[in-house]
Amino acid sequence: MKNVIIKQVYAVGMHHSGVRQLDVGPIYYCGKEEGNPKDPNAIAVYEDKNLRHRVCYLRREDAAKLKDIVIYARGPCYLRAKFGPEKFSRFKGPQQNCNIGFIFNESDATALAAILNGAFIHTIF
């Protein structure tokens, strides 16, 4: 088994769940949200490993690029906020810079690296 860490993925929509921001440091968990009518590629961020208490989503652009990557995950994806939320424009809500990671089979390393190269800043170890 190997690990991958994908950097500079943004979490959005924290204020809709009552949380103003993700705490920097603790681990959150991610999962594809099936049946989301507004975004079929939506990846939700949860406080618990059982994926029950949703706190926000990954940014739509990041979720669209990650849809072909998270299928390689063995177990839940984990997410850690790196900085506090930032506001990039007056038309969008705050976004929070995070890293996402997961464990995958060593046999998938070449295919995963080919997808990740050019799409994300990442580390495979």
Mean pLDDT of 109-120: 84
119 versus 41: which is more confidently predicted? 41
Task: Work out the mean pLDDT of the chain and round it to a whole number.
Answer: 87
pLDDT beyond 80 at 36 = yes
83-103 mean pLDDT: 83
CA 85 to chain centre: 15
Q: How far apart are the first and last CA of the chain?
A: 9
Percent of the chain having pLDDT more than 90? Answer: 34
Q: Is the pLDDT of residue 9 over 90?
A: yes
Contact 95, 17 (CB under 8 A): no
Q: What is the maximum alpha-carbon separation in the chain?
A: 45
Strand 43-46 versus strand 27-32 pairing type = antiparallel
Give pLDDT, residue 34.
84
How, if at all, do strands 121-124 and 27-32 pair?
unpaired
